[in-house]
Amino acid sequence: MTESNQDAQPASSRAPTAAELDEAARLLEAGQLVAFPTETVYGLGADAENPQAVARIFAAKGRPSNHPIIVHVVDGADISYWVRDIPEAARKLIDAFWPGPLTLILKRADHVPADVAGGQDSIGLRCPSHPVAQALLSRFKRGRGGIAAPSANKFGQVSPTTAQHVRDEFGDSVFVLEGDGVEVGIESTIVDLSRLDRGVGPVLLRPGAITPAMMADVLGVAPLPPDAAAPRASGTLKAHYAPRTPLYLRHAGELPAAMADLPADARVAWVAAAPVPDPRCTWIPAPHDAPSYARELYRLLRRLDRQGFARLYLEPLPGTAEWAGVRDRLNRAAAAFDGT
């Protein structure tokens, strides 16, 4: 995926100063919103224990109030403050993968406001590995707070992986911390451990960089697929992560029929391993490995949205386990347009 100069990492991107981090922590403690980088995507943060601040997230994103928000905690945090109990499976996964792109769903402690959990009795916790996120968390309430933070974009649309993406969404209405190193590029893996006492789980609610095989190596058992009684979790609606330009997953041989209704002068983007002979298709070479594809996906979709294409066609991804996270994001993006 070749990026234009506009989409390369901005020259202004840099590590925030201590004063900027202090200001971000002060704003969070005052009930305001702050956007900050994690190793997955940029988050739109608020004090997880302040219902009015959490409500600002829902309002800014246009997010349904019953859609839970993941709470981010500092490395080494005592998560017993947030949950009723910490099962052994959770301790093992924390030891293996925190800080990192893994969210654990556990039973929410009674004193933690239900607003952040979408009204449920469970809560999602994550410890991000990005140094800016950790620096902010260590300052916020002197490291004893939690930052509720979904992706810093309008609900259902493409997640941001740069500070400029956040500014494109919210302008000057949100304080944004700069930060290089969004290494993963798609949202965290989410695993439900809230029902172990009932003999259910672990259950994989959203795939990501931490794969079922990696968790099985730690737990001795692979997480189960989602079931009808699973808790609601971030980013698991059928249609999500969608650009403004209609996006479809098609094989090369399906393109002539898919494009039959388009005007002769229409331009479409074709993201795939190889080009096609149709002159209307602008070919964007796709990375050959899942981590690279995930890192570049959201930035690519935002760039293509600005280029006047009538449609975006992306070649379906391999069905292997290593591709599950990015394949999940593309399937949900396409579902916003054709229900696939």
63 marked as part of a ligand binding site: yes
pLDDT given at position 236: 84
Does 206 show up as a binding residue in the annotation? yes
173 is in an annotated binding site: no
Residue 157 φ then ψ, to 5°? -100, -175
Q: Is 40 annotated as a binding residue?
A: yes
pLDDT at residue 3 tops 80: no
Phi–psi pair at 57, nearest 5 degrees:
-60, -50
Mean pLDDT for 16-45 is 98
5: pLDDT strictly greater than 60: no
CB count within 10 Å of CB 111 equals: 8
Say whether 142 counts as a known binding-site residue: no
User: What number is the average pLDDT over the span 49-65?
Assistant: 96
pLDDT of the residue at 4: 40
Percent pLDDT > 90 in the chain is 89
Query: Is a pLDDT exceeding 90 seen at residue 302?
Result: yes
DSSP letters for 205-271: EE--SS-HHHHHHHHSSPPBPP-TTSPP-TT-SSS-SB-SS-EEE--GGGHHHHTTTS-TT--EEEE
Which is higher by pLDDT, 248 or 180?
248
- pLDDT, position 13: 59
Count of Cβ atoms closer than 10 Å to residue 258 Cβ: 15
188 in a labelled binding site: yes
CB proximity list for 111: less than 8 A, separation 6 or greater: none
Single out the residue of 122, 129, 128, 114 nearest to residue 193, CA to CA. Answer: 122
Q: Taking residues 18-22, report their average pLDDT.
A: 97
CA 65 to chain centre: 18
Which pLDDT score, from 0 to 100, does residue 10 have? 43
Give the CATH class of 247-336: alpha beta
Q: What is the mean pLDDT of residues 227-247?
A: 91
- Specify the DSSP class assigned to residue 156: T
**Class of the CATH-defined domain 18-219:** alpha beta
Higher-pLDDT residue of 48, 181: 48
Nearest to residue 337, comparing CAs of 247, 210, 223? 247
Domain spans of the chain, in order of start? 18-219, 247-336
Taking the C-alpha atoms of residue 182 and residue 39, their distance in angstroms, rounded to an integer, is 4
Comparing 4 with 178, which gets the higher pLDDT? 178
| Mean pLDDT, the chain, whole residue set | 94
